[in-house]
Chains A and B, each alone.
Chain A
Amino acid sequence: ETGVTQTPRHLVMGMTNKKSLKCEQHLGHNAMYWYKQSAKKPLELMFVYSLEERVENNSVPSRFSPECPNSSHLFLHLHTLQPEDSALYLCASSQEGLPDRVNIQYFGAGTRLSVL
């Protein structure tokens, strides 16, 4: 148990569906991240929220829309996805800004997304 919970664990959706991924962290951290993990590829950073402000958006298509209502919750809203978006989507959290502290990211187990 890492203190970061993602739901659902598995999701199958059609290209015209709208769905949302949820992430909740119980670690008291002030930063949250969405990553995409495809087979045999490096983790791709999608979005970063620090103190509930989006600070990073790595050229992610607009069919992915993040939402961070508070420092413990992060959502990824999905609509009109493509088959190539099928992947494992990982959420992570960390504590930023503490001097002399290593910014370790703690991950959830991910949502395995299949787009048909």
Chain B
Amino acid sequence: GQNIDQPTEMTATEGAIVQINCTYQTSGFNGLFWYQQHAGEAPTFLSYNVLDGLEEKGRFSSFLSRSKGYSYLLLKELQMKDSASYLCAFMDSNYQLIWGAGTKLIIKP
């Protein structure tokens, strides 16, 4: 079967670093996505990993290990505007996105 799991909620401090983990199980895999969703707004694309390793984009980085069924999103130099939900999703063998329930990230001053 297929499943995907990420923590429900995390809290971090402004200026710090936070790592949001995502684990998945699937027989067919065509990449892993991270989206950011502010309350009441559209989910917006952050990153895509299909090969193992780390992809860096400014303050945000995303890591993938296909053998472990594991990804993380790393956010550095946290800002208050980073308070949002972060959605992890993998693309299965039918090119459909299978979504996690999202991680609500709360940033405190």
Contacts and interface: CB of A to CB of B under 8 A. Distances in A.
A17 interface: no
A100 to B, nearest CB: 11
Interface of B: 4, 8, 31, 33, 35, 40-45, 48, 50, 87, 89, 91, 95-102
A105 B97 contact: yes
Interface of A: 2, 4, 40-43, 45, 56, 90, 102-110
Secondary structure of the A side of the interface?
Answer: loop
- What are the 6 A-B residue pairs with the smallest beta carbon separation, nearest first? A42-B99, A107-B42, A43-B99, A109-B42, A107-B43, A42-B101
Contacts of A108: 42
Given A43-B87, A102-B48, A104-B48, A90 B42 contact: yes
Contacts of A43: 87, 89, 97, 99
12 contacts: A2-B42, A4-B42, A40-B101, A41-B101, A42-B4, A42-B100, A43-B87, A43-B89, A107-B42, A109-B41, A109-B42, A110-B42
Contacts, number: 43
A24 B10 CA distance: 34
Contacts of B45: 104-106
B99 A102 contact: no
Contacts of A109: 40-42
Contacts of B101: 40-42
A41 to B, nearest CB: 6
Contacts of A106: 42, 45
A104 B31 CA distance: 11
Contacts of A4: 42
Contacts of A103: 91, 95
